[in-house]
Amino acid sequence: MTDDVTEKNRDRGTSTEKKLDDLYDLIDGIEVCMMTTRRADGHLVTRPMQVQERTSGTDLWFVTNIETHKLDEVLTDPHVNLAFYNNRSREWVSVSGTAIVTQDRRLIEGLYKPDWKAWFGEVDEVRDGGPGDPRLALILVEAHSVIYMKNDKPRPVILFEVVKALLTGGVPDVGEERRLGIRELEKAQRMERDA
């Protein structure tokens, strides 16, 4: 059962290609997301993570330190959720997927950015925050489902919709809620491979 607001704002007519383009625009416009993992005791933990440059397909990459608890959590239960929110536009993204950890040096060197050094600190000549630092690992999140809110309306129009709903008892039209399921995400990956 869905609520009236979700139902009013659900988008049903957008093509998979347009959904993906808009999704990537949203994610590219939000520097930090919140990654939720599950601890071994079953409790959820959420932490800020910065999405790295997209390489291809619908998957998202993150850099991390192998000495952090999040890797223990991902190894115990690889199911994660990524939450993105743009405070200015009120747009948001929720990605449900599976996390895979890799220390593939070629991948790390290919995605490496000099600003990573700030998050690792220099311990010695080897553990220096550079691309060869053995503490560096990548987390790949393979998306299984995505829900997001796309908004092309100016803020005053959204505010008007909310006030109108308050006054009339109706439901505000604040944007388009879009969903991408596993079939659409697999289709996107095939399209990317074939391009």
CATH number assigned to the domain comprising residue 147: 2.30.110.10
pLDDT in tens, 75-124: 999 999 999 998 888 889 999 999 999 999 999 998 999 989 888 888 89
Give the residue carrying structure tokens 């009236």. 4
42 or 1, greater pLDDT:
42
Name the pLDDT band for 42 (thresholds 50, 70, 90).
Answer: very high
The one-letter amino acid code at 138 reads L
Is there a contact between 52 and 141 (Cβ–Cβ < 8 Å)? no
Residues of the chain with pLDDT > 90: what percent?
Answer: 36
Q: Domain range spanning residue 111? A: 4-194
Residues of the chain with pLDDT > 70: what percent?
Answer: 87
**What predicted TM-score, i.e. pTM, was given to this entire model?**
0.81
Q: Which residues contact 100 (CB under 8 A, 6 or more apart)?
A: 78, 139, 140, 141, 142
> In total, how many domains does the chain have?
1
